[in-house]
Amino acid sequence: MMTRRRWNDNWLIPCMAVWLVLLTTSAWAGPYRPAAGTEGSHAIHMLDEAFVYWADGYLNYQVGDNVDSTWQTPEKALGMAQGTSFDVVSLGAAGRVTLTFDSSINDGDGWDFAVFENGFEDSFLELAYVEVSSDGTTFVRFDNASLTSDPVPSFGSLDPTNIDGLAGKYHQGYGTPFDLQSLSGEPEVTQGDVDLSAITHVRITDIVGDGTYLDSSGRVIFDLYPTFGSAGFDLDAVGVSNGAPYPEGEWVPPDIPPENGEAGFGSVGGCFINTLR
């Protein structure tokens, strides 16, 4: 006599749970490049040999709200990226700073410069707009996108795959690259007000994560909010990969900072968290 096999509920429920996790994970993931160190990421490590020099001056540091004096030292954004939580300048809520270069940035092959922030993990991200100028007066902003659908609390997290064209997409030690070619169709460029072969200024503007700032498509940009003490975007450095010859000859990098993996400290809304990378 033939017997009918019955479902084993003990097998079915775990399998359904696995499929639910897979489906949910896929739904959460966005269309943009993933976190540093994962396949498909375009994060640039601070020791990448492509860097030819780094920002060496600044203008118009306009500190925003909720930044203690300890973090208001724009000189810390000059020179090579350090990849730590402390060697940075905080912009504060809605703050900004313009970095300058002794030699201009050129529109070359691939990415032309990278911006470094001090986020201590892949999902603890503070974001900023990036703009460039060839005269320090007329700036053009990189197109950007944010698909984070809900507000993010002070100790919340963001998925890098939902973020594109904004500085701060990657954790400390890894820069977000920008390609000047992507600006070639912008009115400021086609009208001759911004020369992509002679960029001399890079302006970084903090995005307040409360939903009042928008991406290039008019969508709300959410990131950590509110934050205090070292609020807003924490700028480590801006490094150049395509640039005119350095005026004083070959650029010589400073002493190499400690390798990732050594103990460090992360700053979270004015509190310090011991992190081991």
**Residue ranges of domains in the chain:** 46-245+261-276
Contact present, 115 and 46 (Cβ < 8 Å): no
CATH assignment of 46-245+261-276, among 2.60.120.260, 3.10.180.10, 3.20.20.80, 3.40.640.10 = 2.60.120.260
Q: What is the pLDDT of residue 3?
A: 41
- Residue 14, preceding bond cis, omega within 30 degrees? no
Q: Mean of the per-residue pLDDT values for the chain?
A: 84
Q: What is the pLDDT of residue 244?
A: 73
Listed range (124-128, 248-252, 272-276) with the worst mean pLDDT: 272-276
Give the best-scoring range by mean pLDDT among 12-16, 119-123, 256-260. Answer: 119-123
CA distance linking residue 257 with residue 237, whole number of Å: 13
- Residue 43: name the closest of 184, 199, 160, 127 by CA: 160
Q: What is the pLDDT of residue 261?
A: 36
Residues 6 or more apart in contact with residue 228 via CB below 8 angstroms: 66, 269, 270
